[in-house]
Amino acid sequence: MKQTGAAGAGARRVPAVHTLVISQHEGVRAQLVAYLARLPTLDVDGSPLTAATIIAARPDVVVLDLSRVDHACLRAAIDDTRRVGARLIALASMHEPDAEELVIRASGLYRLKSAGADGLAEAVLQVAARSPTNGRAATHLD
């Protein structure tokens, strides 16, 4: 599943931020991909989480739905995100302090889904703009 935001006529060409949406829920994944792809500066793919998903895609930003993702899979996703030099945004249905701590320690952004999709595209652009050497740990947003 891949979508790229449509640029308007005469739009300046800016390198798109390759964004990988990972969710074990096909409907959630499809909605997030469609929502993010509305922004012309995002090149968005969607996939369920597998051992090779992040490594194969080599995204700039990973948006990870934490539903149905256990701590071992979260740790593996964080490791793979680091390996490819990507940034992480984790979306949680319910506040899970242990998952939040893992994400923040990895300099990722932990966000509750109850906060809604408003601002998610902007958050993707903000985390993509941080360099790996001087990015600061993101805080819990809701």
Non-local CB neighbours of 84 within 8 Å, separated by 6+ positions = 54, 55, 58, 59
Global model pTM greater than 0.85: no
pLDDT confidence of residue 55: 96
Residue 46: partners with Cβ closer than 8 Å, 6 or more residues away? 1, 2, 20, 21, 22, 23, 29, 30, 32, 33
Euclidean distance between CA atoms 107 and 102, whole angstroms: 9
- Which of 22-31, 97-106, 114-123 is predicted least confidently? 114-123
| Structure-model confidence comparison of residues 13 and 86, the more confident one | 86
Asked if 36 and 61 count as a contact pair (C-beta separation under 8 A), the reply is: no
Name every residue whose Cβ is closer than 8 Å to that of residue 105 and which is 6 or more positions away in sequence: 137
pLDDT over 80 (residue 11): no
Q: What are the sequence ranges of the domains in the chain? A: 16-129
The CATH classification number of 16-129 equals 3.40.50.2300
State the chain's mean pLDDT as an integer.
85
